[in-house]
A and B are shown apart, each in its own frame.
Chain A
Amino acid sequence: MSASRDIVEAAAVPAGAAAASAHPPRWRAGWLNSSRGLGLILLMPALVLVVLFFLMPVVLTGVFAFTNMSTATGISGGTYQVTPGALRELADRHGMDELAEKLGQPSFVVDEQGLKALEEMGIEPAIIADLREGHLGETHASRREFERMLRDLPERPDTRTVKRISGEFSRSLANSRFSSRESLLAAAEGVDPELTEEEKTALVQATYTGWVWTADNFRRMASSRDTVRILLNTIFFVATTLIIFNTAFAMLLAITTHYIPERPAGIFRIIWFLPRISPAVIYVLLWKWFAWDTGFLSAFLDNFGIRPRNWMLDTAANAWFFVIVINGFVGASMGMVIFSSAIKAIPESLFHAASVDGAYRWQQVRHIILPQLKWPILFVTCYQTLSLLTSIEQTLLATDGGPGGATEIWSLAIYHTALNNYAGNLQYGYGAAMALVLVVIGIVLSLIYLRVFNYRALVAKPRIEL
């Protein structure tokens, strides 16, 4: 009845009006009006921030990882310096022992360059002529030898003149510094005119003090014993903290508070939330006071005749205990809150049904609560793995990786490598490479987690059939 009336009404509308309504008026057609265009504009500030503060650091980490930047190289360009270290590198890494020795030794070469200098200094032309005719091209390994030769010249120059002359023929490069590649090579050719291209490249590389592009960081990481140790420390730290505290303990708290009355449960939850909401420095400081050699623990155990000591840094095992507990209590509160609210979201009638079906509490936990907490468990595991991998402040404040590197975890190692170490040479490039590895590990782990927990099945919409 009403449908047929609609048809009649539609037919009554003039054809022109119908056509007009089919095409929106021109002023509405701008791209700004499409929700896509407007959305982009509204998103712009957020996009800029994301790029600046989220994407850029990762990209820069990736870039720095392929350099050898450090305090020594600086982050801008450098000079060419023939240091003993550079010469050693030339010998050890490039196998050019001979060249290194030649460049390092003081050597005196009679060449046209030196003779020209003598002319300008106003040395007696006869001496110059003697040198040119009798000795051009000669090389002397030491100043003494060279100066003896000078004194033996027919003109017999006096000692002062000998010193002046020998200075001009000194061709040693040791400890000299050049501002450019060209001047370095020119000087080197003065010592050894027959430099090969290969030798030149090696020399430039060995003497350059600025940073260069290199994949050495990764080679070094792969071959370093420290890497393995730090990696094992990290795996141990993350796995233990995650399993014991961030999931198991958090779940225990959530389930316990689910089964006790609301008020005590709330108070209980807040207590476990304190570590999270107190500033890390203060929280860790409290632990330090607790474990100090004049702190609570020592004072208490003193009563039983146990020698006071710094319990936190006493042994590696103790250090690990404190590091895991300190980090664990911080992480447990998050899991607890997430699990609690997930349990609360389970309809109460399910627990009633389970009760009358004969399930006691632990059976309810196993058959009703845990299976329905798959997604929160995945989320907490995933999130906490990543945050533990990158967490640093509690461990830094508590043990700073000690004693003797026993609790040195990856993130802390990055910090020590790149930002703060006792040696004073901060290796930005190497630190960035380590950070890049951490980022890659994080991404890989996330992908694995999503796979294992079958992300698709979890988020799939239920198909309701009526």
Chain B
Amino acid sequence: MRILLDHFSKSFGSVRVIDDMTLEIKDGEMLALLGPSGCGKSTTLFAICGIHKVTSGRILFGDRDVTNVSSQERNVGVVFQSYALYPHMTVRENIAFPLRIRSLPEAEIKRLVNEMAGLVHIGSLLDRRPAELSGGQQQRVALARALVRRPNVLLLDEPLANLDAKLRLEMRSEIRRIQLETGITAILVTHDQVEAMSMCDRIAIMNNGQIIQIATPQEMYRNPRTAFVAGFLGNPPIAFIDAVARDGMLAVENADIRLPIPREADRVPEGTPVVVGIRPENLGTEGDAAIRGRVSFIETQGRENLYDITLANGKVLRSIQRVRDDVSLHDEVEWRVRSDQLFLFAQNGERL
């Protein structure tokens, strides 16, 4: 079901946490709400499921305005960050709870619970209590409980934050698999860009209660709208250096580096101070511009190495390349970068 947040704002007392957000989640889509801690992701989620009342604006499920509908009536499935399983109930009772409350016939409940347990692979755990489950198993139970009522939308609030690295990887693909199998509309709240990029159809990136950009992961990575977005996506992250437009080129102060202005941003007035963003994978052996510096750090990652290059003015750029034997620590190097892969931002962070 399509979900629409229409000019939604939320204040706690005098503090405005969400300011005039408009966001559409398409039917059957999985959307990531990505942003740093405290930017208002959970608040948005709680507004969608009805736990928080909105201060202004509307929330639509399909064509139905649910702004003033109680959370009990919205039919939303939520997986909370702490899972919020009922500790005194068995796994079976936990999953059956939303159905029991709706007074479904016992036989029907049984069938749906078993079906759901099969989907999330916890068929053998049904008679245990939450305290007797591992984190990953609890996660699956929470997912089953959220899905069993066939909700209009599935909301996941940092569902992987409490899992260890290996389990996180496993549950990442599990959640995506289940979402695709059920075809449910889902919103995933996370502050982990890898999670957002790997699991979701689209990403809405948030900062300070506002949505900065909504796009597919690829599009957002290739074409960030602001320096904040560019900085948030990518691991290892993008590096920024200050430069000034001079003689149709970008001059990096005190570093004897001149970069060509990327074609899509060539209307940069002479003398404008700009910020240049260079992704680590774009700095290496190929390109039409040269960057000189000294290798100040080498991090071995197995297949590839991560090199830190300190420029003459002290700024540090990162480069990720396959392991090279010809480069060692403290070497002076001159590496290349392709001008069409540079990102140019104004001082306020807007893309040029």
A residues in contact (CB < 8 Å) with B: 347, 349-350, 352-360, 363, 367-368, 371-372, 374, 462-466
Residue of B with least CB distance to A371: B88
Contact B87 A463 (CB under 8 A): no
Residue of B with least CB distance to A361: B72
Contact A360 B51 (CB under 8 A): no
Contact B131 A463 (CB under 8 A): yes
**How far apart are A363's CB and chain B's nearest CB, in angstroms?**
6
Contact A368 B86 (CB under 8 A): yes
Contact B132 A353 (CB under 8 A): no
A-B contact pairs, 17 of them (CB 8 A): A349-B84, A350-B86, A352-B51, A353-B78, A353-B86, A355-B51, A355-B70, A356-B71, A357-B97, A357-B98, A357-B101, A358-B101, A358-B102, A359-B72, A363-B101, A464-B134, A465-B133
Q: How far is B78's CA from A355's CA once the two chains are assembled, in angstroms?
A: 10
Which of the listed residues A347, A358, A464 has the most CB atoms from chain B within 10 Å of its own CB? A358
Chain A residue numbers with a CB within 8 Å of B71 are 355-356
B residues in contact (CB < 8 Å) with A: 46, 49-51, 70-78, 80-82, 84-89, 97-98, 101-102, 129, 131-135, 145, 149
Contact A350 B132 (CB under 8 A): no
Q: Which of A355, A371, A465 contacts B132 (CB 8 A)?
A: A465
**How far apart are A261's CB and chain B's nearest CB, in angstroms?**
13
Residue of B with least CB distance to A357: B98
Contact A347 B132 (CB under 8 A): no
Residue of B with least CB distance to A359: B101
Which applies to chain A's interface (DSSP): helix, strand, loop or mixed?
helix
Which of the listed residues A353, A355, A372, A464 has the most CB atoms from chain B within 10 Å of its own CB? A353
Residue of A with least CB distance to B88: A371
Chain A residue numbers with a CB within 8 Å of B70 are 355
Chain A residue numbers with a CB within 8 Å of B75 are 358
Residue of B with least CB distance to A374: B88
Chain B residue numbers with a CB within 8 Å of A374 are 88
Given known A462-B132, A464-B132, A465-B133, contact A355–B80 (CB-CB < 8 A):
no
Residue of B with least CB distance to A463: B132
Chain A residue numbers with a CB within 8 Å of B85 are 353
Chain B residue numbers with a CB within 8 Å of A358 are 72-73, 75, 98, 101-102, 149
Query: Closest 4 interchain pairs by CB?
Result: A462-B131, A353-B84, A349-B84, A357-B98
Q: How far is B46's CA from A384's CA once the two chains are assembled, in angstroms?
A: 41
How many inter-chain residue pairs (CB < 8 Å) link A and B? 74
Contact A372 B87 (CB under 8 A): yes
Given known A352-B80, A356-B50, A356-B51, contact A465–B101 (CB-CB < 8 A):
no
**How far apart are A339's CB and chain B's nearest CB, in angstroms?**
16
Q: Which of B84, B131, B135 contacts A352 (CB 8 A)?
A: B84
Contact B131 A355 (CB under 8 A): no
**How far apart are B189's CB and chain A's nearest CB, in angstroms?**
14
**How far apart are A369's CB and chain B's nearest CB, in angstroms?**
10
Q: How far is B87's CA from A349's CA once the two chains are assembled, in angstroms?
A: 12
Chain A residue numbers with a CB within 8 Å of B72 are 355-356, 358-360
Chain A residue numbers with a CB within 8 Å of B49 are 356
**How far apart are A241's CB and chain B's nearest CB, in angstroms?**
28
Residue of B with least CB distance to A370: B88
Chain B residue numbers with a CB within 8 Å of A466 are 134-135
Which of the listed residues B80, B86, B98, B132 has the most CB atoms from chain A within 10 Å of its own CB? B86
Chain A residue numbers with a CB within 8 Å of B102 are 358
Contact A352 B88 (CB under 8 A): no
Chain B residue numbers with a CB within 8 Å of A355 are 50-51, 70-72
Contact A464 B84 (CB under 8 A): no
Contact B101 A347 (CB under 8 A): no
Supplied contacts A352-B84, A353-B84, 13 more A-B pairs, CB within 8 Å: A349-B82, A349-B84, A353-B86, A354-B86, A354-B97, A356-B77, A357-B98, A359-B72, A371-B89, A372-B88, A463-B131, A465-B133, A465-B134
Chain B residue numbers with a CB within 8 Å of A465 are 132-134
Residue of A with least CB distance to B98: A357
Contact A356 B76 (CB under 8 A): yes
Chain B residue numbers with a CB within 8 Å of A356 are 49-51, 71-72, 74, 76-78
Q: How far is B149's CA from A71's CA once the two chains are assembled, in angstroms?
A: 76
Contact B145 A349 (CB under 8 A): no
Chain A residue numbers with a CB within 8 Å of B82 are 347, 349
Q: How far is B89's CA from A355's CA once the two chains are assembled, in angstroms?
A: 17
**How far apart are B319's CB and chain A's nearest CB, in angstroms?**
32
Chain A residue numbers with a CB within 8 Å of B46 are 352
Chain A residue numbers with a CB within 8 Å of B50 are 355-356
**How far apart are B133's CB and chain A's nearest CB, in angstroms?**
7
Q: Which of B51, B84, B129 contacts A350 (CB 8 A)?
A: B84
Q: How far is B84's CA from A355's CA once the two chains are assembled, in angstroms?
A: 12
Chain B residue numbers with a CB within 8 Å of A367 are 86, 97, 101
Chain A residue numbers with a CB within 8 Å of B73 are 358
Q: How far is B87's CA from A374's CA once the two chains are assembled, in angstroms?
A: 13
Chain B residue numbers with a CB within 8 Å of A462 are 129, 131-132
Residue of B with least CB distance to A372: B88
Chain B residue numbers with a CB within 8 Å of A368 are 86
Q: How far is B88's CA from A317's CA once the two chains are assembled, in angstroms?
A: 42
Residue of A with least CB distance to B155: A356
Chain A residue numbers with a CB within 8 Å of B149 are 357-358
Q: How far is B132's CA from A466's CA once the two chains are assembled, in angstroms?
A: 9
Residue of B with least CB distance to A360: B72
Q: How far is B180's CA from A211's CA once the two chains are assembled, in angstroms?
A: 90
Given known A358-B101, A367-B97, contact A353–B131 (CB-CB < 8 A):
no
Residue of A with least CB distance to B134: A466
Q: How far is B97's CA from A357's CA once the two chains are assembled, in angstroms?
A: 7
Chain A residue numbers with a CB within 8 Å of B51 are 352, 355-356
Chain B residue numbers with a CB within 8 Å of A349 are 80-82, 84
Q: How far is B46's CA from A354's CA once the two chains are assembled, in angstroms?
A: 13
**How far apart are B98's CB and chain A's nearest CB, in angstroms?**
4
Chain A residue numbers with a CB within 8 Å of B81 are 349
Chain A residue numbers with a CB within 8 Å of B97 are 354, 357, 359, 367
Q: How far is B131's CA from A371's CA once the two chains are assembled, in angstroms?
A: 16
**How far apart are A286's CB and chain B's nearest CB, in angstroms?**
41
Q: How far is B183's CA from A235's CA once the two chains are assembled, in angstroms?
A: 62
**How far apart are B280's CB and chain A's nearest CB, in angstroms?**
32
Chain A residue numbers with a CB within 8 Å of B88 are 371-372, 374
**How far apart are A375's CB and chain B's nearest CB, in angstroms?**
11
Contact A347 B84 (CB under 8 A): yes
**How far apart are B54's CB and chain A's nearest CB, in angstroms?**
16
Residue of A with least CB distance to B167: A466
Q: How far is B82's CA from A462's CA once the two chains are assembled, in angstroms?
A: 17
Contact B80 A353 (CB under 8 A): yes
Q: How far is B84's CA from A353's CA once the two chains are assembled, in angstroms?
A: 6
Q: How far is B87's CA from A367's CA once the two chains are assembled, in angstroms?
A: 11
**How far apart are A72's CB and chain B's nearest CB, in angstroms?**
59
Q: How far is B97's CA from A367's CA once the two chains are assembled, in angstroms?
A: 9
Chain A residue numbers with a CB within 8 Å of B77 are 356
Q: How far is B134's CA from A350's CA once the two chains are assembled, in angstroms?
A: 19
Which of the listed residues A347, A354, A356, A358 has the most CB atoms from chain B within 10 Å of its own CB? A356
**How far apart are A116's CB and chain B's nearest CB, in angstroms?**
94
Q: How far is B98's CA from A360's CA once the two chains are assembled, in angstroms?
A: 11
Q: How far is B75's CA from A145's CA once the two chains are assembled, in angstroms?
A: 113
